[in-house]
Amino acid sequence: MADMEEVLERQERETRERMRRRAASKRAQRELDEQLGIAVALLEEENQGRRVETLYTRDYLCRPTPRDLQRLLQKAESRGFPSMIGSIDCMHWQWKNCPTAWQGDYGNRKGQKSIILEVVAGFGTWVWHAFFGVAGSQNDLNVLGQSPVFNDVLRGEAPNITYEINNTIY
């Protein structure tokens, strides 16, 4: 009888150990799945950016030269918008499959997960600037605050052009 109890106790210990290992393995597997999901999302985002860049940089996503800017200013003035080179706007794209680990950084005021795209477009749908807001930006003002468009102006790296506002030439 004692032998049978020892056998049952040993089997119970072994069963508990197997279950503990299996649970630990499943937890590790879930963590690995989460990490792989994040890595795949990062790679896909990077690859998508490269594809857009490859397709459109030469004709559309190139920085305007001083000559381009003068042409944009003349066209805007002829349409009643003096000193305007284009329109800047931010667009929120809902991110349905945002990785769990990033959800706090990509939430908007409505609680949805989204990524923000800032675009500057001139006449003829010439998009000459596109910038995806970084993690934690969460609103247009924060994206504009990190925007290369405004940072270039502040650093003195924007093209030097002449324009007129209220009869004052700049």
What confidence tens digit (pLDDT) does each residue in 50-87 have? 777 777 777 667 778 888 888 888 888 898 888 788 88
Pairwise CA distance, residues 74 & 163, whole Å: 10
Give the tens place of pLDDT for each residue, 112-134. 888 888 888 877 777 888 888 77
Sheet holding 127-132, edge to edge: 87-94, 114-121, 127-132
In this predicted structure, what is the pLDDT of residue 1?
Answer: 56
Whether residues 87 and 40 share a domain: the answer is: no
Q: What are residue 117's DSSP bridge partners?
A: 91, 132
Q: Give the integer Cα–Cα distance in Å for 144 and 89.
A: 9
Listed residues 36, 56, 76: the one ending a domain: 56
Q: Are residues 65 and 145 in the same domain?
A: yes
Q: Which residue has the tokens 């506002």?
A: 165
Closest CA to 132 of 145, 116, 108, 120: 116
Instruction: Indicate whether 161 and 111 sit together in one domain.
Output: yes
First to last CA, the chain: 102
Q: What is the pLDDT of residues 1-41, one digit of tens each?
A: 567 677 667 777 888 887 777 777 777 777 767 776 777 77
pLDDT (0 to 100) of residue 19: 76
Residue recorded with tokens 């210990």: 13
Q: The domain containing residue 36 runs over which residues? A: 1-56
What is the per-residue pLDDT across 92-112, written as a single tens digit (0 to 9) for each?
888 888 888 888 888 877 888
51 and 77 share a domain?
no
